[in-house]
């Protein structure tokens, strides 16, 4: 409180004599804020840090008293790769996350285009209705989806998961694209139309290149959401199509020493997505809040 007041007083009078104590209090304040901010940030991040570290320990070190000093090993990574068939689950995750994202973008781009550039009275209603489909709790429709998938042979298939994830993310993808398209100046498209560009050309040569950053971050958000989805993947897959979320869950009933291997597998499973998350955090807010917070 005192710091704030000092700050304001000096801001008003700004005499050179008072500068030096003020500068030091400000510096002090910055220092303490820094210490507090970093302490809390590190505490929140600690479980992830600890997991990465444990992945490089031997199983014996992993369960020993917590220590930062140990001889690092890559043996867990090698073992997870060779014995547990990590590659298969990773492959499933990649196919399902990227497949569903591409499909969602393909379906959403035309819809978002027409909503942003050819709005009618009903556009708002359609957008809100799309949002409302997101509110249907997955567990409420678990039974019918499970039975339908069983009957048509989609249980434990990548195709099945791609379908579910595409539909799960479609509303968010449409919304996000819509907000990005709306931000684009209309004149450019108008000019293109004057020059005789058809709708398809307009979209391919003008809209897509100009909104590529927005489309990319929309895609990244969809990838993140699909990659981390754990309700449908746990319930609809078992051995064949299981993505990493389900594979990691198989560590929950362990025999013997397994922490280091769990950590190595987990680190590999989350590393790419955390980086994606860091890259898109700003744009992500739009998608996650349906444009309600910008």
Partner 1 sequence: MSAGRVTPVGSFLATFMVTDMNKTRTSGRTIGGLRTLSLQAPAVSLLFLWMIVPLAMTVWFSLQRYNLLMPGMTGFAGLENYEYLFTDPALWSAMGTTLLMVGWVLVITVVGGTLLAVLFQQDFMGRGIARVLAISPFFVMPTVSALVWKNMMMHPANGVLSWVAESLGLPAVDWFSSLPLTSIIIIVAWQWLPFALLILLTAMQSLDEDQVEAARMDGAGPIAIFFFITLPHLKRAISVVIMIEMIFLLTIFAEIFVTTSGGPGLATTNLAYLIYIRALLDFDVGMASAGGVVAIILANIVAIFLVRMVAKNLEN
Site for partner 1 in 215-234 (CB under 8 A): 224, 227-228, 230-231, 234
* 69 is a site residue for partner 1 (CB under 8 A): no
Distance CA 265, CA 267 (A): 6
Q: Which of residues 117-176 bind partner 1 (CB under 8 A)?
A: 118, 120-122, 124-148, 167, 170-171, 174
Binding residues among 33-62 for partner 1 as defined by CB under 8 A: 33-34, 36-38, 40-42, 44-48, 50-51, 54
Q: Which stretch binds partner 1 (CB under 8 A): 79-87, 94-102, 190-198, 258-266?
A: 258-266
Q: Are 237 and 223 in contact (CB under 8 A)?
A: no
> Distance between CA atoms of 282 and 290, rounded to whole angstroms?
13
Residue 78 binds to partner 1 (criterion: CB under 8 A): no
Lay out the site mask for partner 1 across 99-118 (x = CB under 8 A, - = otherwise): --------xx-xx-xxx--x
Does residue 96 belong to the site contacting partner 1 (CB under 8 A)? Answer: no
Using CB under 8 A, which of the segments 1-9, 94-102, 188-196, 204-212 binds partner 1?
A: 1-9
First to last CA, the chain: 31
Give backbone dihedrals phi and psi of 280, rounded to 5 degrees, phi first. Answer: -110, 10
User: Does residue 256 interact with partner 1 by CB under 8 A?
Assistant: no
3-state secondary structure (DSSP) of residue 236: helix
DSSP state of 139: G
What are the φ/ψ torsions at residue 138 (nearest 5 degrees)?
Answer: -55, -35
């Amino acid at each position: 409180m005192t710091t704030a007041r000092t700050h304001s007083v000096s801001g008003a009078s700004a005499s050179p004599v008072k500068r030096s104590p003020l500068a030091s209090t400000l510096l002090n304040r910055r220092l303490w804020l820094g210490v507090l901010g970093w302490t809390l940030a590190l505490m929140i991040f600690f479980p992830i840090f600890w997991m990465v570290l444990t992945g490089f320990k031997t199983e014996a070190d992993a369960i020993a008293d917590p220590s930062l000093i140990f001889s690092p090993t890559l043996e867990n990574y090698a073992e997870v790769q060779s014995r547990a068939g990590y590659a298969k689950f990773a492959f499933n995750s990649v196919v399902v996350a990227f497949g569903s994202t591409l499909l969602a973008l393909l379906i959403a781009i035309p819809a978002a285009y027409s909503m942003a550039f050819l709005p009618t009275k009903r556009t708002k209603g359609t957008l809100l209705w799309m949002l409302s489909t997101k509110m249907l709790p997955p567990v409420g429709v678990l039974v019918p989806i499970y039975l339908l998938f069983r009957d048509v042979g989609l249980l434990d298939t990548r195709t099945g998961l791609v379908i579910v994830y595409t539909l799960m993310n479609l509303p968010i993808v449409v919304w996000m694209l819509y907000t990005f398209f709306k931000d684009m100046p209309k004149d450019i498209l108008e000019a293109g139309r004057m020059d005789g560009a058809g709708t398809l050309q307009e979209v391919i040569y003008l809209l897509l290149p100009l909104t590529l950053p927005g489309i990319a971050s929309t895609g990244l958000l969809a990838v993140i959401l699909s990659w981390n989805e754990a309700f449908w993947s746990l319930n609809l897959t078992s051995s064949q199509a299981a993505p990493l979320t389900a594979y990691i869950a198989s560590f929950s009933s362990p025999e013997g020493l397994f922490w280091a291997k769990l950590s190595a597998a987990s680190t590999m499973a989350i590393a790419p997505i955390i980086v994606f998350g860091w890259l898109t955090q700003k744009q992500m807010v739009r998608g996650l809040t349906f444009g309600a917070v910008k």
